[in-house]
Amino acid sequence: MRNISAATLAAVSEAEAVLAPVFARFDETAKTVAEKILSAFYDNRVSEAHLHGTTGYGYDDRGRDTLEKIYAQVMGCEAALVRPSIVSGTHALAVGLFGLLRPGDTLLSVTGKPYDTLDEVIGLQGDAGNGSLRDFGIKYEQIDMKDGFIDCEAVEKRLASGGVKIVFVQRSKGYAADRRTLPVEEIGSLAGTVHKHPGVFLVVDNCYGEFVQTDEPVALGADLQIGSLIKNPGGGLCRTGGYLAGTKKAVELCSYRLTSPGIGAEVGASLDENRNMYQGLFFAPTVVASALKCAALASYLFFHAGFRTSPSYDEERYDIIQTVDLGSEKNICAFCRGIQSGSPIDSYVTPEPWDMPGYTDRVVMAAGTFTSGASIELSADAPIRPPYTVYFQGGLTYETGRIGIMRAYDEVTQITK
Ligand SMILES: *Cc1c(COP(=O)(O)O)cnc(C)c1O
């Protein structure tokens, strides 16, 4: 194995000693979530037969139907759709939005502008006529966050004047450096406000948030939460897929969009994915705790090397994303080089900035993952623009993730010296 410098090894030893109580908190959350997951396996009498899939229409796919009950129980809601046929988080979110919204309705985002990939779904970008929500006569409004919090007063006021069908919340800050990630309790209190208005759904983009806290948004009153199986809840084993979980009514409406009216959730061959989806959920609390430990380690190391980090290493965490403001293109490239060289796949590759379609600035990415694009695995990306922030997440195991972080630290501190 390539040498990691003595200075880096010493810094990591110090970091791990200081972080012990922080890591213990992540482990406590994982224990609580693991208990919930295992209880759901017991209550639903999971047997080996559930791990096998179906083909064709997938009628009476016991594995699929039972997994959806397990997801509902674990998330704390009535129903769920958990499908390998959902191609990504964006697709799952589109199913949720198109499932619930009708012409003339208003979609109200209350955490500022949603994740970039939803621009074309909503119709904020892209050609007219492409089948966006806007094409179907669905209006979009947004209320920006105020000092990092949802502006509940403005939300109340807007709901009172009518026409809103969905109040939309993005839990994780995603790649918006200028906002904070919401603790699930704040989404819960928003649910109280929203549900004073019958017929309005509270829908949560839950990407990167699953199992970081012991409760999920739907357990605290949201109508629907949506996420990707190649992030937290897939536990690193799901090869593709997405989920929607929430009230029976909301999930049923979404099922008609996922497949077709009249068919809903009753079809959909799970092929050979059931085993990965069950086992992935089983691993997920541990994998999420590992990702959180990697994030805290990176935060500690880079903060003490003089960089701004968010969250700080001992702050409460509500998603798995860590940002480090690296101050220069050179540092960003060094960081990504380190992460890439510490990855299990493509460790010999050197990431370079490139003009990614759809982005204004050049972007550099590091990802050497078993599942293509899986950001529950150790990965980093950074747009090349001040303050040269790298977004870092994942680590299937802490023991391997820390190696990537040590290499990133080695690379960056050698330049800085
Ligand atoms: C990952 C993510 C999505 C969906 O992205 P996909 O790449 O389509 O899976 C949506 N919102 C947030 C906040 C995300 O992190």
The 10s digit of each residue's pLDDT in 158-173 is 999 999 999 999 999 9
| Fold assignment, 6-33+282-416 | Aspartate Aminotransferase, domain 1 (3.90.1150)
Residue 266 has what pLDDT?
96
| pLDDT tens readout for residues 94-106 | 999 999 999 999 9
Nearest atom in ligand 1 to 231's CA: 1
Ligand 1 centroid distance, CA of 2 (Å)? 34
Residue 33 has pLDDT above 90, yes or no: yes
CA of 209 to the centre of ligand 1 (A): 11
In the structure, which protein residues have their CB atom closer than 6 angstroms to any atom of ligand 1?
A: 88-90, 115, 117, 170, 172, 174, 205, 207-208, 228
Where are the chain's structural domains?
A: 6-33+282-416, 56-271
Please state the rounded mean pLDDT for residues 113-137. Answer: 95
Q: Using alpha carbons, list the distances in angstroms from residue 174 to 111, 266, 400.
A: 11, 33, 24
Q: Is a pLDDT exceeding 70 seen at residue 417?
A: no
For residues 392-399, give the mean pLDDT: 97
* pLDDT at residue 109 greater than cutoff 80: yes
CATH number of 56-271: 3.40.640.10
Residue 207 Cα to ligand 1 midpoint, Å, equals 6
**Cα radius of gyration rounded to whole Å, the chain:** 21
- Pocket test of ligand 1: the residue of 90, 321, 376, 391 to mutate, having most ligand atoms within 8 Å of its CB, is 90
Average pLDDT, the chain: 96
* Pocket mutation for ligand 1, best pick of 113, 117, 180 (most atoms within 8 Å of C-beta): 117
Residues 276-306 have pLDDT tens digits of: 999 999 999 999 999 999 999 999 999 999 9
Q: What separation in Å is there between the alpha carbon of 301 and the centre of ligand 1? A: 27
Question: What local confidence, expressed as pLDDT, does residue 261 receive?
Answer: 97
Over range 16-37, report the average pLDDT: 98
Ligand 1 nearest atom to the CA of residue 205, by list position: 11
Q: Is the pTM of this model over 0.85?
A: yes
Question: Same CATH fold, 56-271 and 6-33+282-416?
Answer: no
Average pLDDT over residues 178-197: 96
Whole-number Å distance, alpha carbon 144 to ligand 1 midpoint, is 19
